[in-house]
Amino acid sequence: MEKRPPITVSSWTLGDQCKFEERVKAAKEAGYDGIGLRAETYVDALNEGLFDSDILAILKKYDMKVTEVEYITLWAENNRSYEQKYKEQLCFHMCGLFNVNHINIGLMEDYSVEHTAQKLKELCQRAGEYVIGVEPMPYSGIPDIKKGWAVVDGAGCDNAKLILDTWHWVRANQENDVELLEGIPAEKIVSIQINDVYERPYAKSILRDESMHDRLAPGTGINATEGFVKMIKEKGINPAVIGVEVISDAILAKGVAEAAKHTFDNTMKVLDKAWPEVMPQS
């Protein structure tokens, strides 16, 4: 491994109701290397009255970095809205501001592999130097690794890659088996997001509700996390970040600081067993 990937608290893990400095402080005190920001949470920071220089000053104050930028959607539409075009440009700006080289994207709409791959190619061309990481989600138009790779491969762009998330992986009924990644070059997986799941999923029609409200910290559910991380390690993937994305109303109800600590502490327990080489050096 060239360098240890930063352990990052993904944007949704700390919700969308806290101030920017509160987010950074909670992440730092919990032990995280970096924070993730969505375009929306970046705009929330601006809406607090902060300028880019203020945001960078707060990060410097806590010796923290933004290491994950999210989340472009609706990119496969033939006629994209002004809002979506602007959000895309905002993500590019965030990458430049925070020195992040990849953007997480998803697609709820279900199109053919050919159409989706063409639209991904166009997005990758607009992105220029930045990597576009496609995240398969079981309730989306790219539900699993099979279609995800078909789309990324079909785009034929060096900067088109995949992002793999434990929750989405398990809920797509995929085993933690490295054979499912056969034929996909390790370098085509730009980053991972980890979490855990309950044994029993929500009903299919409301599966996205579980994803957005009821995930578990790594290792605290059926412990799908450990096997997932071992699979990533076995494949030889060198993720740009290890994002901890635990979207949970119950955990967040205890406060941003507690959510950061709970998710970080449980992440360390899993990584200590599954991939100690990526743990922060004390």
Q: Is the dihedral of CA 171, 175, 177, 183 positive or negative?
A: negative
Domain boundaries, the chain: 7-278
Task: Write out the chain's pLDDT in tens, 282 residues.
Answer: 568 999 999 999 999 999 999 999 999 999 999 999 999 999 999 999 999 999 999 999 999 999 999 999 999 999 999 999 999 999 999 999 999 999 999 999 999 999 999 999 999 999 999 999 999 999 999 999 999 999 999 999 999 999 999 999 999 999 999 999 999 999 999 999 999 999 999 999 999 999 999 999 999 999 999 999 999 999 999 999 999 999 999 999 999 999 999 999 999 999 999 999 999 876
Instruction: For residue 28, give Cα distances in angstroms to 25, 32, 64, 264.
Output: 5, 6, 7, 10
Burial-class residue 67 by CB neighbours within 10 Å (0-12, 13-18, 19+).
buried
Supply the CATH classification number for the domain 7-278.
3.20.20.150
Q: What pLDDT score was predicted for residue 99?
A: 98
Q: Specify the pLDDT at position 282.
A: 61
219, 271 Cβ separation under 8 angstroms:
no
Cis peptide before 198 (omega within 30 of 0): no
How many whole angstroms separate alpha carbon 139 and alpha carbon 36?
A: 23
Please give the Cα distance from 254 to 13 (Å, whole number): 12
Q: What are phi and psi of 206, to 5 degrees?
A: -125, 25
Gap between the Cα atoms of 114 and 120, Å rounded = 10
pTM: 0.97
Q: Is residue 153 helix, strand or coil?
A: helix
Which pair of tokens denotes residue 62? Answer: 């806590």
pLDDT at 281: 76
Calpha distance 242→117 (Å, rounded): 26
Query: Phi and psi for 219 in degrees, rounded to 5?
Result: 80, 0
Residues in the chain: 282
The amino acid at residue 166 is: T
pLDDT at 280: 86
Per-residue pLDDT at 1: 57
Which phi and psi (to 5°) does residue 274 adopt? -95, -30
DSSP per position, 23-90: HHHHHHHHT-SEEEEEHHHHHHHHHTT--HHHHHHHHHHTT-EEEEEEEE--TT-SS--HHHHHHHHH
Residue 146 half-sphere exposure toward CB, CA atoms < 13 A: 6
Residue 102 exposed, middle or buried by CB count within 10 Å (0-12, 13-18, 19+): buried
